[in-house]
Amino acid sequence: MGNIIKAVCQCGLESGEIYQGIGFRYFENGIRIEPAYCGDCGIIVGRDMSKSFSKCPQCRKKVKFYKEDVEESEIEKELGLATDDYLPEKEQWLCPRCKRETLGSEFMGMWD
Ligand SMILES: [Zn+2]
Ligand SMILES: [Zn+2]
């Protein structure tokens, strides 16, 4: 379950569709897809946050999750589950290509 989102920046950067959220087998496999970026390649990809090391598909270096930059609330920490609502809370995100905070997220739909 989750949102289908797409990251777009004025500089022309556009991510593919990212299936953000948790799968129906989340409580078995803990897979949680979140948008992440590689500053070297200037790309944004959906990656499994439950893994300790998520690689960039191009250079194989570690990607950085946008979620890491967001402070989680106490309730989220207690439950061990974070909300999916952090993206709309902030309008502009760091663009891995032009390195400015001009990246927006577009809501494409829902998946389940
Ligand atoms: Zn890379
Ligand atoms: Zn940009």
Q: Would you say residue 85 has pLDDT above 70? A: no
Distance 99 CA to ligand 1 centre (A): 14
pLDDT at 23: 77
Q: What pLDDT is recorded for position 76?
A: 53
Q: 104 CA to middle of ligand 2, Å?
A: 9
The tally of domains found in the chain comes to: 1
98 alpha carbon – ligand 1 mean position (Å): 15
Calculate how far, in angstroms, residue 26's C-alpha sits from the geometric centre of ligand 2: 33
d(C-alpha 100, C-alpha 46), whole Å: 20
Confidence band (pLDDT; 50, 70, 90) for 7?
A: very high
Residue 46 is predicted with a pLDDT of 95
pLDDT surpasses 80 at 43:
yes
Collapsing DSSP states into helix, strand and coil, what is residue 98?
coil
pLDDT of 109:
94
Instruction: Count other C-beta atoms under 10 Å from residue 98's C-beta.
Output: 15
> Structural domain of residue 90, as residue ranges?
2-111
Indicate which ligand has the atom closest to the C-alpha of 103.
2
Residue 16 has pLDDT above 60, yes or no: yes
Lowest mean pLDDT among 21-25, 65-69, 73-77: 73-77
> Which ligand has the nearest atom to the CA of 44?
1
Could you tell me the pTM of the whole model? 0.81
Conformation bin of residue 16: beta by default, left when phi > 0, alpha when psi is -120 to 50: beta
Q: What is the pLDDT of residue 24?
A: 77
**65 CA to middle of ligand 1, Å?**
13
Asked if 78 and 67 count as a contact pair (C-beta separation under 8 A), the reply is no
Residue 38, pLDDT score: 97
